[in-house]
Structure 1
Amino acid sequence: MVGIKGNRRTLYSKKVMIDAFLMLLQEKPLNKITVTDICKEADINRGTFYSYYNDPFDLMRSIEEEMIEKMMSTINISGDESLQNMLNEIFNLILENKEFCKILFNEKNSSYVLGTLLNSAYEKKIEDIKKQFPMANETQLEYYFTYITGGTIEIIRKWINDDMKIPSGEVIRILESLYES
């Protein structure tokens, strides 16, 4: 039946919309993509688009949430909450979804996926930061964490935008050395 989650027609419609949307994101920034652009590229009508999404930003949010869910479940499955393991899992998922991640994490699209994942490590990392800066108050610790998270996101984004030329393990070692200093 049409409109039922998991229905083949529903899955097909969503897939062609997502594929068209990702192709358009390679050409122009999110704020320049219209519903008409997506429908034309996917060869669907506007009613089909609006039965699943409100606008291109809603479609982007949906894609990001699915990616976060996939990454978080992979991280949780491993059971090891160490920062190194979390980074390994994130990098593995990025490598498994190379083309998609190149689009999602480029400068134009400013996805919040990496930030959400790294913020999930807040409790673990804030304890490490407290050890490094025992005299810091809560506000200072939050600023340190924000600095570390922002830097990590930009390093991962640079690695992706450089076509992942260096091995992910080397990038993880770079990040770990920054966390320890």
Structure 2
Amino acid sequence: MKGIDTEKEFQTAFWKCYEKEPLEKISVGKLCQSAGYNRSTFYNHFTDIYELREKCVDEMLEPVKAKIMDIEDIKMLFYGNAVELMISGNFLKNNKHIETLFKWHDEYILGDRIKNNLMMCVMTHHKETISDMEKLEIVLDYQLSGALGVIRNWYNKGKHSEGDMLKEIFEIASKGVFNALREILK
């Protein structure tokens, strides 16, 4: 008899397979073989491999989601170093799964999930403080995609510490892209 938490075992098998090859090359059969289950068991829990990947990313980001949902005043998130608050503690460097998402160019899933968590926090606790929800969503998309680009660069080049990389994201975000570019081009 297999373990009690079948979904967790599929998640473990998914990450093992995903570290070796892109999602498009991972078949349900290969995943089931790795997890030690048959295809019907997989389909009892997941619609497809994409749903499993989403579940895996959601599980991985649970600590980030908890930090976001604990924010009492959403404005404080944007006055402080939001990225560092959400992913502090060597979250990136010590998380092989995040590195795997970047390896296969699937980091956009992280941005989408973090944005959705921020929007859920706003809708749940701070809806009355936001004047334009659509504009907020656009700004979050812009900022998260930029932060993910810096993180991708950091993974590829790895020349400085995670703390220094987070400071760079914060500086660009707080100064604005055009002001940061002006300083560089002086």
Instruction: Give the TM-score, by structure 2 length.
Output: 0.67
Residue 133 of structure 1: aligned partner: none
Structure 1 residues 68 and 94: CA distance shift in structure 2, 3 A: same
Alpha carbons of structure 1 residues 117 and 34: separation in structure 2 relative to 1, 3 Å:
same
CA contact (8 A) 1:29 1:109 kept: no
What residue in structure 2 maps to residue 39 of structure 1? 32
> 1:30, CA displacement in angstroms?
0.9
Residue matched to 2:96: 99
One-letter identity of the residue aligned with 2:41: T
Structure 2: gaps of 5 or more residues: 177-186
* Match for residue 41 of structure 2 among 23, 41, 48: 48
Distance 1:120 1:17, change over 3 A: closer
- Alpha-carbon distance in 1 for matches of 2:42, 2:112: 28
| Offset at residue 161 of structure 1 (A) | 4.4
1:139-167 Cα deviation digits (max 9, x unpaired):
998766544332111112332444x5522
Unaligned runs of 5+ in 1: 3-7, 128-137
Aligned residue for 2:103, secondary structure, equals coil
* Residues 39, 145 of structure 1: alpha-carbon distance in 2 compared, 3 angstrom cutoff: closer
Partner SS for 1:94: coil
CA distance in structure 2 between the partners assigned to 1:140 and 1:73 by the alignment = 24
Q: Which of 22, 27, 30 does residue 23 from structure 2 map onto?
A: 30
Q: CA RMSD in A?
A: 3.5
Task: Identify which range, 170-179 or 71-80, moves more after superposition.
Answer: 71-80
Q: Which residue, 149, 152, 155 being the options, matches 2:147? A: 152
Between the aligned partners of 2:162 and 2:14, the Cα distance in structure 1 is 28
Whether the 8 Å CA contact 1:102–1:161 is kept in 2: the answer is no
Name the SS of the counterpart of 1:169 in structure 2.
helix
Tell me the percent identity: 24
Residue 160 of structure 2 aligns to a residue whose secondary structure is coil
Match of 2:69 in 1: 76
